[in-house]
Amino acid sequence: MTAAPAFHWLGADQLLPALPAGLADWLFDTGSLTRRLTALSAGRFAVTPLAEGWQSLRDDECAALGVAPGSEGWVREVYLLGGEQPWVFARSVAARAALEGFAPVLAELGRRPLGELLFSDPAFERGALQATRYPPAWLPAAVRREGLWGRRSCFHRENLAVLVAEVFLPELWQYQGIDPDAL
Ligand SMILES: C=C(O[C@@H]1C=C(C(=O)O)C=C[C@H]1O)C(=O)O
């Protein structure tokens, strides 16, 4: 288990005054990221699954899900691509205790976006978005670098909670003509 680096997930009220508008617009957009990336890429959107399965969840994930540290859960890590370029690294987790019957649904997703599930079922409610500069140790080696902005939120349906974290990669900013080092 990687030791938790000194970082904090912060809410819009704590971050918005200091963020460049272009960044805040992405970090705290409450709509479907899948739909937004599909539009931005003119339909050239895809999901590349990286890892899926049962793992021990990180301390910050356990705290957000309200389960004991070291609890096991279902983990899905993917790249969201625009025009064949990885634009977002996403890690979605759900605690085993709450996954009765839902784990097989997650396991069957494959290259279908999780968002299609979460935004098509009105029973899912999205909690508050938080953001942070994402600890590089928690990124896949291929995209690991300091200072990448990430966000997370929890989708709730009855006793199920799915914590979705999304890290915006430099290629997404560059595609929009934004210097990633200026964020
Ligand atoms: C929650 C959404 O689903 C997206 C799709 C994901 C996946 O397929 O694993 C993960 C994170 C999200 O960016 C969304 O579209 O907003």
**pLDDT (tens digit per residue) in 132-147:** 999 999 999 999 999 9
pLDDT of residue 19: 87
Q: Please tell me which residue, 62 or 96, carries the higher pLDDT value.
A: 62
The annotation status of 52 as a binding-site residue, yes or no, is: no
- Kindly report the CATH number assigned to the domain that includes residue 158: 3.40.1410.10
122's CB contacts (< 8 A; 6+ apart) are none
How far, in Å, CA of 127 to CA of 90, rounded?
A: 17
Interval 81-111: pLDDT, tens:
999 999 999 999 998 777 767 777 888 899 9
Which residues have C-beta atoms less than 6 Å from ligand 1? Answer: 32-34, 47, 76, 78, 80, 90, 92, 113-115, 118, 164, 166
ipTM of this model? Answer: 0.95
Domain containing 154: what range? 12-176
User: How many angstroms does the Cα of residue 20 sit away from the middle of ligand 1?
Assistant: 24
Question: Is 183 a domain residue?
Answer: no
Question: Is 4 a domain residue?
Answer: no
Question: Is 7 a domain residue?
Answer: no
pLDDT of residue 6: 63
The annotation status of 166 as a binding-site residue, yes or no, is: yes
User: How many angstroms does the Cα of residue 166 sit away from the middle of ligand 1?
Assistant: 8
pLDDT of residue 15: 87
Q: Provide the domain count of the chain.
A: 1
User: How many angstroms does the Cα of residue 90 sit away from the middle of ligand 1?
Assistant: 7
Query: Mean pLDDT for the chain?
Result: 92
Token match 């356990």: residue? Answer: 62
pLDDT of residue 56: 95
For residue 181, pLDDT beyond 70 = yes
- Give the pLDDT band of residue 69 (cuts 50, 70, 90): very high
Q: Give the long-range contacts of residues 21-25, CB within 8 A, separation 24 or more.
A: 22/176, 22/178, 23/149, 23/183
Atom of ligand 1 nearest to the CA of 118: 1
Question: Is 6 a domain residue?
Answer: no
Average pLDDT over residues 41-63: 96
Question: Is 3 a domain residue?
Answer: no
User: How many angstroms does the Cα of residue 128 sit away from the middle of ligand 1?
Assistant: 16
pLDDT of residue 93: 96
The annotation status of 148 as a binding-site residue, yes or no, is: no
First to last CA, the chain: 29
pLDDT of residue 2: 47
Interval 16-50: pLDDT, tens:
888 888 899 999 999 999 999 999 999 999 999 99
Average pLDDT over residues 2-14: 74
Atom of ligand 1 nearest to the CA of 76: 9
